[in-house]
Amino acid sequence: MNKFKTFKSIAIPLIRNNIDTDAIIPKQYLKAVSRQGFGNFLFYDWRYKDPGDLDVEISKEKKDDFILNKRISKKLKLLLVAKTLGVAHPGNMLYGH
Q: What is the pTM of this model?
A: 0.66
pLDDT at 95 over 50: no
Which tens digits make up the pLDDT trace of 30-69?
Answer: 877 777 778 878 888 898 887 666 655 566 788 999 888 8
pLDDT at 84 over 80: no
Q: What pLDDT is recorded for position 55?
A: 57
Q: Where are the domains of the chain?
A: 20-88
Q: What ranges make up the beta strands (E) of the chain? A: 10-20, 76-87
